């Protein structure tokens, strides 16, 4: 009986073919579950929203002849590209503020200050107890602003006065410019009260020594306050006007501190020792205003930059929220999972959990 001999090469061939067949089977099984990777969409570059620059407000405080320091502050601010958009003034601050709001530049203000004759704005009436009537001041201001009412000045302006009958703060933003300034500057005991309509008005420093809130009312986002008020430093004030001004400052000091706290920057020219009725030191007062404003510039720039950054961040968040609200809503779909390894994902949908 013949015995068939085994072919020794057959097991070797099987060993070679098995890995190839297994690889082919795996490739065939996985072939239906592969698809080309879709390119990921590139998010469009969205430009930053346009944010309006902060509106700068200038709040000029009262202080009689020390008010010349306001001119130095304005000079230095404008020289460094910081032009206020609105201006509010109390007493002496309302005088400088009204002329500035009328369109005068700082150098014109300084020329007016140097050429000012004190007698032109002081009309004493003997039969009223020696009080200053204030009509001369009213006429002077109206002549300088071209007899324009407040609402027709080139810059939004407010003059702050005190209603004598009630003690209420009154902010004049319309009407006779000179009359509003006269009311704001009518120091009690020195000037006669000003009658406007059915009320009488006296110096705004009684209720608002530095009119920060009035500048806010004009729309200012960033308020620079200039404080030239007298402080009770232990020294005896000079003359009747000095006594009255210091008395008003003492009465309104606590109230003034609260309002000054609402300013973004407070500039204090070193004019504490200047007499309230001393017009001879006007040039020195202007210089002190320049020096104080120059020293405050780094802080002003830093605070303005911080405010701009906050507004830009808020605008970005608002734009993102608006874009999200306007985006099309995609239908829900279930993603491919291990329980469905060869299924196809639905495209253009919002994945949800199984």
CA dihedral 182→185→186→189, nearest 10 degrees, is -160
Q: Is residue 247 part of a domain?
A: yes
CB atoms within 10 A of CB 238: 14
CA end-to-end span of the chain: 70
With H, G, I as helix, E, B as strand and everything else as coil, classify residue 44.
coil
Contact indicator for 40, 208 with CB cutoff of 8 Å: no
| pLDDT value for 95 | 96
Angle 15-17-19 (CA atoms, 0-180°, nearest 5)? 80
Helix (H) / strand (E) element for 132: namely: strand 131-132
By residue range, what is the domain housing residue 185? 56-311
Give CA–CA dist 213/304, Å, rounded: 19
Ramachandran region, residue 307 (left: φ > 0; alpha: ψ -120 to 50; beta: rest): alpha
How many domains is the chain built from? 1
Give CA–CA dist 147/132, Å, rounded: 22
Nearest of 199, 152, 154 to residue 176 by alpha carbon = 152
Query: Which residues form the catalytic set?
Result: 91, 203
Q: Is residue 324 part of a domain?
A: no
Work out whether strand 222-226 and strand 56-60 pair parallel, antiparallel, or are unpaired: parallel
Q: Is residue 96 part of a domain?
A: yes
Distances (CA, A) of 101 to 14, 97, 109, 182, 342: 102, 6, 11, 16, 77
| pLDDT value for 256 | 80
- CATH code where residue 85 lies: 3.40.1090.10
Q: Is residue 316 part of a domain?
A: no
| pLDDT value for 170 | 97
| pLDDT value for 343 | 47
Nearest of 156, 38, 145 to residue 95 by alpha carbon = 145
Residues linked to residue 266 through DSSP beta bridges, in sequence order: 225
Q: Is residue 69 part of a domain?
A: yes
Q: b/e map of 167-185 (b: 16 or more CB within 10 Å)?
A: eebbbbeeebbbbbbbbbb
Q: Is residue 325 part of a domain?
A: no
Contact indicator for 183, 150 with CB cutoff of 8 Å: no
Q: Is residue 320 part of a domain?
A: no
| pLDDT value for 1 | 47
| pLDDT value for 323 | 78
Structural Rg of the chain based on CA atoms: 38
Q: Is residue 243 part of a domain?
A: yes
Give CA–CA dist 190/193, Å, rounded: 9
For the chain, 354 residues long, the average pLDDT of each consecutive 10-residue run is 53 59 56 52 65 94 92 97 97 97 96 85 66 92 97 98 95 98 92 94 93 98 92 65 68 79 96 83 96 98 94 86 75 60 54 58
């Amino acid at each position: 009986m013949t015995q068939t001999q085994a072919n020794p090469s057959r097991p070797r061939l099987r060993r070679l073919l098995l890995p190839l067949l297994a690889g082919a089977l795996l490739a065939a099984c996985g072939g239906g579950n592969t698809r080309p990777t879709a390119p990921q969409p590139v998010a469009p570059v969205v430009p930053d929203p346009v944010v309006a620059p902060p509106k700068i407000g200038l709040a000029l405080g009262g202080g009689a002849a020390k008010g010349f320091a306001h001119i130095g502050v304005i000079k230095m601010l404008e020289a460094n590209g910081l032009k206020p958009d609105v201006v509010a003034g109390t007493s002496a601050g309302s005088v400088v503020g009204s002329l500035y709001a009328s369109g005068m530049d700082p150098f014109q203000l300084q020329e007016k200050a140097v050429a000012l004759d004190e007698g032109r704005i002081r009309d004493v009436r003997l039969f009223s107890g020696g009080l200053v009537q204030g009509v001369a001041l009213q006429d002077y201001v109206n002549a300088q602003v071209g007899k324009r009412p407040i609402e027709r000045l080139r810059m939004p302006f407010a003059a702050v006065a005190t209603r004598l009958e009630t003690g209420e703060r009154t902010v004049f933003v319309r009407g006779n410019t000179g009359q509003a300034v006269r009311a704001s500057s009518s120091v009690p005991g020195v000037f006669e009260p000003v009658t406007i309509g059915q009320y009488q008005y006296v110096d705004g420093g009684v209720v608002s020594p530095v009119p920060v809130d009035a500048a806010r009312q004009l729309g200012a986002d960033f308020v620079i306050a200039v404080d030239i008020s007298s402080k009770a430093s232990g020294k005896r004030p000079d003359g009747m006007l000095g006594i009255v001004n210091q008395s008003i400052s003492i009465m309104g000091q606590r109230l003034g501190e609260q309002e000054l706290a609402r300013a973004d920057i407070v500039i204090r020219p070193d004019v504490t020792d200047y007499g309230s009725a001393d017009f001879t030191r006007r040039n020195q007062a202007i210089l002190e205003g320049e020096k104080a404003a120059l020293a405050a510039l780094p802080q002003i720039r830093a605070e303005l930059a911080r405010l701009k950054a906050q507004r830009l961040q808020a605008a970005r968040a608002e734009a993102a929220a608006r874009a999200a609200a306007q985006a099309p809503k995609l239908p829900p779909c279930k993603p491919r999972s291990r329980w469905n390894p060869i299924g196809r994902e639905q495209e253009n949908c919002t994945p949800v959990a199984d």
